[in-house]
Amino acid sequence: MAAPYSQPATPDTLKHWLALYHTPGVGAVTFHQLLEAFPILQELPHTDSETLHTLGLSQKAIDALQHPDVSAITRDLEWQDKPGNRIMTCHDPDYPVLLSQLESPPPLLYIHGQTSILSEPLLAMVGSRNPSASGVRTATDFARHLSAAGLVISSGLALGIDAACHQGALDAGMPTVAVMGTGLDRVYPARHRDLARQIAEQGALVSEFPIGTAPRAENFPRRNRIISGMSLGTLVVEAAIRSGSLITARYAGDQGREVFAIPGSIHNPLARGCHHLIRQGAKLVETAQDVMDELGMLADSCYRADPATLDTGAADKPLKLDPDYQQLIDFIGFDSTSIDQLVCSSGLTPAEVSSMLLQLEMSGYIASNHGGTYNRLK
C-alpha cells in the first residue's frame, strides 16, 4: 500500500525514482520493498552490494542501479516537460486514492491530460474487442448515462466495447480515462489516435509503462489491474467466456470492488462471459440506475474519506496458490523464462499465462525482466 506524502516529487527526487523504475528485475513488489528500506532513494545507489543482495537484488540489477540508464531517464523527463504531461509517484498526494490501496500499486504513473480527473469516482467499463452492434449501442448508452450521473468512465482504449464506452462519455460532454498498455508516446491501436486526443482533452490517458514501451501481450493484464484498481467497480458489457474482460472483472473482485455484468441472449456467444460472471456473484445490470444504486453512497464515502483509513475490501491479498499457479511456477526457472516457453510447457493460452504471471509477480513469487522474461524468486 502506498503511503501518501504531502507534496509531489521534486525533479531531483524523480530522477532517482526513474533510475530504480528502469532497473532490470525490479517490479512493483521489489520497488516497494526497497522504498520501505530506503525512504530516501538517493541513498540506494551508494549502498554496498552485499546489503543490496540481502534485499533480493541480483548482481545485474545492482550494476544497473549503480550505472542507471541515463537515456531512458532523460526520455521520460523530456516527455514530462511537454504541456499536459506528468509523471506521478505513488507518494504523490494526487495519486489515485483507490489505486493506492492495492498491495503493490504501480510506483509511477505517466499521465497525459487532466490529472484532477483521477480524483473523481471512476467506473471501469470493459468488454469484447469484436462486439455485436447491439453491444456497441449498449456500451455507448450506459457510458453516456453513467457519465451524466457523475461517474468518470475508465477503460482500456481497445477496439470494440472499450472505444464505445470512451465515446459515450465524450458524447455526453464528460471526461473519461483511458489506461494504456504502452508508453504514452504511442497509441495502440493506431486507429484510435484521434480518440486518444479527444480523451486527453476532456479527461486523461494513463500508463504505468515508461515512454517508448511498445505494445506487448504481457502488458495488458497489468493495464487491466490498473483499470479495476482505480475504479469503484467494473461493468462488463459484452464478453466471450475466455475474454480478457473477465480478467479485469476478476481483478476487481480480488481488489474488493463491485463487479457488474449486463446479460444478453442465450444464443449470443458474446453474452456467455457476462452470464458466467453473474453466476459467480456479479450484480446483474439492466439499467444505468442499477449501477448508481450500488455505487452512489460508496462513491461519497470513498472520495470524502481519509485515504490512510480507507478500506475497500480484499485489496490484493497475497495469492494463495492453487494447482494451476503452482504448476506454472514449477515451469519458471530461477533463470529467465519467456512467456512463449510457458505457453508451450503449460498448455495455457498467452492471455491466461500473462494474467497468472501478473498475480504471481504481485505476490512476490516471481520477477519480470526487460524483454518479457520472468524468473522465480522462491
The closest of 344, 182, 362, 307 to 353, measured between CA atoms, is 344
More confident residue, 10 or 169: 169
User: Residue 249 pLDDT > 90, yes or no?
Assistant: yes
What confidence category does residue 326 fall into, taking pLDDT thresholds of 50, 70 and 90? confident
What confidence category does residue 56 fall into, taking pLDDT thresholds of 50, 70 and 90? confident
More confident residue, 376 or 243: 243
DSSP 219: H
346-to-192, 329, 343 alpha-carbon distances in Å: 34, 10, 5
Do you find a cis peptide bond into 107, omega within 30 degrees of 0? no
Asked if 233 and 123 count as a contact pair (C-beta separation under 8 A), the reply is: yes
What confidence category does residue 10 fall into, taking pLDDT thresholds of 50, 70 and 90? confident
What confidence category does residue 364 fall into, taking pLDDT thresholds of 50, 70 and 90? confident
Beta-sheet pairing, 176-179 with 152-155: parallel
pLDDT of residue 210: 98
More confident residue, 315 or 128: 128
CA 66 to chain centre: 29
pLDDT of residue 215: 96
DSSP 84: T
User: Residue 190 pLDDT > 80, yes or no?
Assistant: yes
pTM of the model: 0.81
pLDDT of residue 299: 62
Residues contacting 250, CB < 8 A, separation 6+: 355
Q: Which residues of 122-143 are buried (b: 16+ CB within 10 A; e: fewer)?
A: bbbbbbbbebbeebbebbbebb
pLDDT of residue 80: 97
Which domains does the chain show, CATH number per domain? 113-309 (3.40.50.450), 323-376 (1.10.10.10)
What confidence category does residue 81 fall into, taking pLDDT thresholds of 50, 70 and 90? very high
The string of DSSP letters for 256-308 reads T-EEEE----TT-GGGHHHHHHHHTTPEE-SSHHHHHHHHHHHHHHHHHS-GG
pLDDT of residue 335: 66
User: Residue 106 pLDDT > 50, yes or no?
Assistant: yes
Asked if 227 and 124 count as a contact pair (C-beta separation under 8 A), the reply is: yes
pLDDT of residue 248: 95
pLDDT of residue 264: 92
What confidence category does residue 1 fall into, taking pLDDT thresholds of 50, 70 and 90? low
More confident residue, 51 or 312: 51
pLDDT of residue 305: 45
Per the prediction, the chain carries an average pLDDT of: 88
Asked if 59 and 19 count as a contact pair (C-beta separation under 8 A), the reply is: no
User: Averaged over 87-94, what is the pLDDT?
Assistant: 96
CA 334 to chain centre: 26
DSSP bridge partners of 154:
124, 177
Distance CA 56, CA 79 (A): 31
The C-alpha cell of 45 is what? 545507489
pLDDT of residue 316: 42
User: Residue 281 pLDDT > 50, yes or no?
Assistant: yes
Asked if 282 and 260 count as a contact pair (C-beta separation under 8 A), the reply is: yes
The string of DSSP letters for 3-43 reads PP-SSPPPHHHHHHHHHHHTSTT--HHHHHHHHHH-SSGGG
More confident residue, 160 or 12: 160
Residues in the chain: 378
Long-range contacts of 271-278 (CB under 8 A, 24+ apart): 271/238, 272/239, 272/240, 272/241, 273/236, 273/238, 273/239, 273/240, 273/241, 273/242, 273/243, 273/245, 273/246, 274/236, 274/237, 274/238, 274/239, 276/241, 276/246, 277/236, 277/246, 277/249
User: Averaged over 300-317, what is the pLDDT?
Assistant: 45
pLDDT of residue 370: 64
pLDDT of residue 318: 44
**pLDDT per residue as tens digits for the range 35-53:** 999 988 888 888 998 998 8
* Max Cα–Cα distance, the chain, nearest Å: 64
pLDDT of residue 317: 42
What confidence category does residue 323 fall into, taking pLDDT thresholds of 50, 70 and 90? confident
CA 352 to chain centre: 16
Residues contacting 63, CB < 8 A, separation 6+: none
